[in-house]
Amino acid sequence: MMKSTGAVDTGIQQTTQGELEIRAGSSTVAKADSNGILSDVGIIRHKNIISTEISIATDETACVGGPITISSTGGITVNGNGIMVII
């Protein structure tokens, strides 16, 4: 396990047991734990072209901000009772 001494200016650090903090320029922009990712700035950005294979498991849900384009090398599979919502 990696441990850091002092705060990370830009990067990812473990802040408590089971929690990661994502920092950019001395500001916390997101935290991740077993419940998911929480954005401290309120906006999560992503590319609008899907160019890899993505699979949503039967016990998962996914939310995507649209519009999106699926390239010839990409694809989305929603398995069983999995759910994907495009907003």
Q: Are residues 86 and 65 in the same domain?
A: yes
Same domain, 29 and 65: no
> What type of residue is 22?
I
| 51 and 31 share one domain | no
Location of structure tokens 């999560």: 44
pLDDT for residue 4: 54
- 8 Å CB contact between 77 and 53: yes
Regarding whether 36 and 15 lie in a shared domain, the answer is yes
Residue-number span of the structural domain to which 75 is assigned: 46-87
Q: Which pLDDT belongs to residue 43?
A: 77
Cβ 11 vs Cβ 25: under 8 Å: no
Domain check: are 62 and 84 in the same one?
yes
Helices (H) and strands (E) in the chain, counts: 0, 10
Query: Is there a contact between 22 and 16 (Cβ–Cβ < 8 Å)?
Result: no
Shared domain for 37 and 55, answered yes or no, is no
Q: How many domains does the chain have?
A: 2
pTM higher than 0.75 for the full model? Answer: no
Residue 7 is predicted with a pLDDT of: 65
* Tens digit of each residue's pLDDT, the chain (87 residues): 555 556 678 888 888 888 999 888 888 888 888 878 888 777 777 888 999 998 988 988 888 888 899 999 999 999 999 888 888
Same domain, 64 and 80: yes
Query: Residue 34 and residue 59: Cα distance in Å, rounded?
Result: 15
